Amino acid sequence: MTTRRNFFKFTLLSATALMPGILKRSADLISSRTGSDKHVPLFLSTWNHGMAANEKAWAVLRDSGQIVTAVEEGVKVTEADPSSRTVGLNGLPDREGIVTLDASIMKGSGECGSVCFVRQIKHPITLARKVMEKTPHVMLAGEGARQFAISENMTLEEEELHPEAEAAYQEWLREKEYKPIINIENHDTIGMVGIDASGNLAGSCTTSGLSFKMHGRVGDSPIIGAGLYVDDEVGAATATGMGESIIKICGSFLVVELMRQGRSPDEACREVVHRLVSKNRKDIDNLQAGFIAVNKDGEYGAHAVRPGFNFALRHETANKMVDSPSHFE
Ligand code: SD4
């Protein structure tokens, strides 16, 4: 089990690694193999909102030693952010003007939980964790998820669109065109993967999904293996972008399985994006999707369909945004 000591064990390890000769030799070895350094603890989160989420996750891991709590608390920052139109209840609604949320959480041991098509819940990631820990199930949907939240004494929020979401919805109603927009505007899920100093992994993923989607539409984010997959023996991956394209290839599971076969996180993400492109030829001009991954050694990587995808990286010596490589230039 992860303990607070595990977090600090890392500091000792990094201090050792800072011995000049060792650092140089191991850095050369690693970069020739994968292009990414090894770091534990480490957090990766999709898009710019990942910076604040990683910061929170880092502090929670430091204070609690619990990697699963860290990835839950990290993405809760985004879920509660009033400026987010893509995560949480301030997100853009579906075609009926209703915000419906998807979220999942997974531990490297294989335990997982998720909720989809859920309304009025400020922190769907917490509800997903409750599904994982308090039910014999993996996934609860819609009204059933809401009823479970009530039974867990979670507060139901008023269904009132954020004024900016309301304005965007009114604008959309004028044309009622269902045409997903590439990148930032329409694809801004937060997916986070993390590893502690002992190699315990966890991941979380939460979203309001595609804006103006059909009522009842569920994306990849709450589907274990599509939007998120974690295995302590191998690594963890999460996805963002057009959920339909990610579901079709079991994207995050595939990233982890390719790492199991020996690919670096970078190589695995690249190969999965390649697969996604080849299986989604019909829609490829209108879609973006991206993956981030970490392996059990603390190497990380990412790849996207097209430029514009970035992710937040947090480890002992880095706290920054990184631009992902992409299939198309
Ligand atoms: C979905 N994958 O619902 C989500 C949307 C997304 O960044 O990732 N936005 O399809």
Tell me: the pLDDT tens digits for 203-255? 999 999 999 999 999 999 999 999 999 999 999 999 999 999 999 999 999 99
**pLDDT over 90 at 83, yes or no:** yes
Q: Which atom of ligand 1 is nearest to the CA of 188?
A: 7
More confident residue, 179 or 135: 135
What is the residue extent of each domain of the chain?
1-34, 39-323
Distance in Å, CA 100 to ligand 1 centroid: 12
Sign of torsion over alpha carbons 24, 28, 29, 30: positive
Say what the pTM is: 0.89
Cis check: omega of the bond before 41, within 30 degrees of 0: yes
End-to-end CA distance of the chain, in Å?
A: 43
Q: Which atom of ligand 1 is nearest to the CA of 219?
A: 3
For residues 250 and 28, give the distance between their C-alpha atoms in angstroms, rounded to a whole number.
Answer: 34
Per-residue pLDDT at 5: 43
Task: With cut-offs at 50, 70 and 90, classify the pLDDT of residue 176.
Answer: confident
How many C-beta atoms surround the C-beta of residue 17 within 10 A?
15
Q: Which atom of ligand 1 is nearest to the CA of 240?
A: 8
Per-residue pLDDT at 4: 43
Per-residue pLDDT at 22: 38
The class that CATH gives domain 39-323 is alpha beta
CA distances in angstroms from 275 to 120, 250, 301, listed in the order given = 36, 10, 17
Per-residue pLDDT at 179: 63
Please write the tens of the pLDDT for every residue from 267-287. Answer: 999 999 999 999 999 989 888
Q: Kindly state if the Cβ of 219 falls inside 6 Å of ligand 1.
A: yes
Listed residue (143, 142, 112, 144) closest to 128, CA to CA: 112
On whether the CB atoms of residues 198 and 214 are closer than 8 A, the answer is no
> For the chain, what percent of residues have pLDDT higher than 90?
81
Among 45, 84, 206, 207, which residue has the most ligand 1 atoms within 8 Å of its CB, making it the best to mutate?
Answer: 207
Is 16 one of the annotated active-site residues of the chain?
no
On whether the CB atoms of residues 102 and 116 are closer than 8 A, the answer is yes
Per-residue pLDDT at 175: 80
3-state secondary structure of 272: helix
